[in-house]
Amino acid sequence: MPHTARFVIDPEFSVGDVDPRLYGTFVEHMGRCVYTGIHDPGHPTADADGFRGDVAELVRELGTGLVRYPGGNFVSGYHWEDGVGPVADRPRRLDLAWRSIETNRVGTNEFLGWARQLGLDPMMAVNLGTRGIDAARALVEYCNHPGGTAWSDLRVKHGVSDPHGVKLWCLGNEMDGPWQTGHKTATEYGRLAAEAGKAMRQVDPSIELVACGSSNSRMPTFGTWEREVLEQTYDEVDYLSLHAYYEEFDGDRASFLASGAHMDQYIRDVVSTADHVRAVRGAKKHIKLSFDEWNVWYAARFPGERNLETAETPRLIEDTYSVTDAAVVGSLLITLLRNADRVAIACLAQLVNVIAPIRTEPGGASWRQTTFHPFAQAARFATGRVLRTDATGPRIDTPQYGDVSTLDTVVTHDEESGALTVLAVNRDQEQPLRLEAALRGAAAGHRVVEHLVLSDQDPDAVNTEAEPDRVVPRRSSGTHITAEGALAAELPPVSWNVIRLAPQVS
């Protein structure tokens, strides 16, 4: 008999709405994310602007609605003016973040045009590393001002008559990190971010702003950085950023599978810090969180930016993801959704090739990594409101995060259709886990539409160009409503599960 985890599904009790921006992704000028990733003029499916049609199809299928651009560390040395105007006149630059040659073949207008074609909302970052207030407000004016000023008329001259209307802006990237070009102390960054944000909003009062939080929760300044930055920027910004990457260390898979527990604590710590600043200021506004970089990244295998050969379009951090990695990505998605009351924005980093759900070969194939599937399924089915779920059941003792629940789950409810979606990960590496959920209130009487599961006899199985569909979600049989009216399902070891319920048709 597998061990059992139990919880209650009752649409009366919700955490908050699922902001569609939780299903964001990230395109950085890094490695092959842009060049030969989304953009590859020689590719047989390329459109007139050189963007790959096969990748566009996969991006649509992934279901992301928001894309952050152009960095990442890249943005901290970027001159956005290099990437606009006639392509032939654009300079080749040495990108210090990744020691790459940036041709500037793709820039602001090309990216925003691509995003618009795919129905994606852009989230643009400004350079607060080597640049500042003036370049930032000029970029907002170039993008969003209708016309009749030097910067907006330049955009029109560059062939874009209608303003791009970019609503969401990041005030720099990971400015607390010593690796960042133009790294700053919290005091230096806070002042600059507040003034840059103010000027950007003077250009376009409708924009929303994200201040940089810590690069990760292990930074020595974590906590104090958030407090000091918010003390200076509280009135100007809407969101504070969080970044986290997870990997398996020294064969400690139990902790790796419990990465969501770390992410959950990290979110709570940042919420507490933001609310402390709110209390001290007597402010009304709550700062929301933008988890604008998250993923599995085998960073220990990365030689470090200082050890990279200078190249154009190098293959950088093209991690190949396994079934276990997909379960962890699923668990991180569950964590973000469970915190939907405060996390409004989240970006899987990155979109193509660079630690990405989509892989491509230059001029050749494109395929879905294992991690593509949990993201695409959550974006498609986990919409509406997040319900409160408190599971009881077996637990796992992990070296890094202590005692964690074997079941990681979240439930969403679409009020209009009545559909319920249960996302669940079984963290146990050996045993299946039985899930039992009592259906109460408006959930009572629902039927099972389907149970899709991603798991494999080999938890290290991956998708490759030669075998792109080695790992795909499959239908699981046996999931049913018990005589007592509860949902009952069995989750294989190390698995990602989507169980869809709908009201009975009367």
Contacts of ligand AHR in 15-44 (CB under 6 A)? 28, 30
**Amino acid at site 92:** R
Cβ(37)–Cβ(352) below 8 Å: yes
* CA-only gyration radius of the chain, Å: 23
Torsional sign, CA 478, 460, 218, 125: negative
Pairing state between β 66-69 and 121-126 = parallel
- Beta carbon of residue 270, minimum distance to ligand AHR (angstroms, whole number): 17
Q: How many Å apart are CA 112 and CA 143, to the nearest integer?
A: 9
Cis check: omega of the bond before 384, within 30 degrees of 0: no
Q: Which two tokens stand for residue 128?
A: 């607060």
Q: Among 324, 339, 350, 476, which residue interacts with ligand AHR (rule: CB under 6 A)?
A: 350
Query: What does the per-residue mask of binding to ligand AHR show for 306-345, with x meaning CB under 6 A?
Result: ----------------------------------------
Residue placing its CB nearer to ligand AHR in the complex, 108 or 173: 173
- Beta carbon of residue 80, minimum distance to ligand AHR (angstroms, whole number): 17
**Position 349 contacts ligand AHR (CB under 6 A):** yes
Of the candidate spans 9-17, 65-73, 203-211, 410-418, the one that interacts with ligand AHR by CB under 6 A turns out to be 65-73
Exposure string of 368-402, with b = 16+ CB inside 10 Å and e = fewer, is bbbbbbbbbbbbebbbbbbbebebebbebebeebe
Residue placing its CB nearer to ligand AHR in the complex, 189 or 381: 189
**Position 95 contacts ligand AHR (CB under 6 A):** no
Q: How many Å apart are CA 341 and CA 292, to the nearest integer?
A: 16
Query: What does the per-residue mask of binding to ligand AHR show for 142-181, with x meaning CB under 6 A?
Result: -------------------------------xx-------
Q: Among 24, 31, 50, 71, which residue interacts with ligand AHR (rule: CB under 6 A)?
A: 71
Per the residue annotation, which of 141, 174, 195, 226 is the catalytic one? 174
- The Cα diameter of the chain in Å comes to 73
Q: How many residues does the chain have?
A: 506
- Beta carbon of residue 358, minimum distance to ligand AHR (angstroms, whole number): 15
Cβ(326)–Cβ(471) below 8 Å: yes
> Catalytic annotation on 293?
yes
Residue placing its CB nearer to ligand AHR in the complex, 84 or 97: 97
Residue placing its CB nearer to ligand AHR in the complex, 316 or 340: 316
Name the residue with tokens 């986290």: 244
> Catalytic annotation on 81?
no
Residue placing its CB nearer to ligand AHR in the complex, 231 or 305: 305
Cβ(425)–Cβ(327) below 8 Å: yes
Of the candidate spans 70-78, 270-278, 322-330, 443-451, the one that interacts with ligand AHR by CB under 6 A turns out to be 70-78
Residue placing its CB nearer to ligand AHR in the complex, 76 or 335: 76
**Amino acid at site 226:** E
Interface residues toward ligand AHR, by CB under 6 A: 28, 30, 71-73, 173-174, 293, 349-350
Active site residues: 174, 293
